[in-house]
């Protein structure tokens, strides 16, 4: 299927690994010129052919610098993919609400919410000019906030609400805004030996491999497996394309059927 994205321009944040890397690879294959932002430009990211920009988007001035550079490199902006986020470090994430400090709450919101707010604010004037699109990666944890570290899931809930508000305000100006909310994805968050999955397994008295094997059934995923990054990337690419021209203001869940509510 031709997604009609050839020669479009995009900024993708959190692009060095996992979902972000898969999104960059998919968009580049579709003919999109991509500026890919990450704290570290990995060899895998370089190999995609995207323009890698090292930036820490949790710093207040980082998003504006990124968008200014992208505008200069690309000559305009058709798409913003807000993928930057965190929650994949295991240390101190499994103790429950009373274990989280003010600093942990602040860090979670800076990276999982405010980084996207600031990047979107910088990008929107350019997106309005091109009648572009925004796709923001949230989490199904926004709808099941008990299922993960509470600062992380609460920040993701704010991110999903943010997308709804943006769609309402900027839809009349031609900008489509959607969120994508994956369930557990085969990324470092679950698979790294020092990530959240490893720490969660330890807290439950399990080996990490045991947790990953049991996770789909335990979370109600009807597919029997975790989501693959490229599946999320395919959905992002479709939502970015003219084929999704009447799709806006929606939260698209991709979690193997884990969310049971209508």
Q: Which residues are catalytic?
A: 152
Q: Collapsing DSSP states into helix, strand and coil, what is residue 8?
A: coil
In sequence order, what E strands does 43-166 have?
Answer: 51-54, 79-82, 133-137
Torsional sign, CA 107, 112, 113, 116: positive
Burial of 205 from C-beta contacts in 10 A (0-12 / 13-18 / 19+):
exposed
Q: How many helices (H) and strands (E) are present in the chain, helices listed first?
A: 10, 7
Please report, for residues 147, 239, 255, the alpha-carbon distance to residue 143 in angstroms, rounded to integers and kept in the order given. 9, 21, 12
Q: How far apart are CA 19 and CA 142, in angstroms?
A: 17
């Amino acid at each position: 299927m031709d997604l009609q994205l050839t020669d479009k321009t995009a900024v993708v944040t959190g692009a060095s690994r996992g979902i972000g890397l898969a999104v960059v690879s998919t968009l580049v294959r579709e003919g999109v010129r991509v500026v890919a932002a990450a704290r570290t430009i990995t060899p895998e990211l370089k190999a995609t052919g995207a323009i890698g920009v090292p930036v820490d988007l949790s710093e207040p001035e980082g998003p504006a610098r990124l968008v200014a550079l992208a505008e200069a490199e690309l000559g305009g902006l058709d798409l913003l993919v807000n993928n930057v986020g965190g929650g994949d470090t295991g240390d101190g994430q499994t103790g429950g609400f009373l274990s989280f400090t003010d600093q942990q709450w602040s860090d979670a919101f800076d990276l999982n919410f405010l980084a996207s707010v600031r990047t979107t604010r910088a990008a929107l004037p350019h997106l309005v000019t091109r009648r572009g699109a925004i796709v923001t990666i949230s989490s199904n944890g926004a709808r099941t906030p008990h299922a993960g570290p509470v600062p992380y899931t609460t920040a993701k809930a704010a991110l999903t609400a943010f997308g709804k508000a943006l769609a309402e305000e900027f839809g009349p100006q031609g900008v489509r805004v959607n969120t994508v909310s994956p369930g557990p994805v085969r990324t470092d968050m679950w698979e790294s030996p020092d990530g959240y999955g490893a720490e969660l397994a330890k807290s439950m008295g399990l080996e990490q491999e045991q947790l990953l094997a049991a996770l789909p059934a335990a979370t109600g995923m009807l597919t029997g497996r975790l989501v693959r990054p490229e599946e999320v990337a395919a959905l992002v690419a479709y939502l970015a394309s003219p084929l999704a021209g009447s799709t806006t203001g929606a939260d698209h869940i991709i979690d193997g059927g884990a969310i049971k509510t209508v």
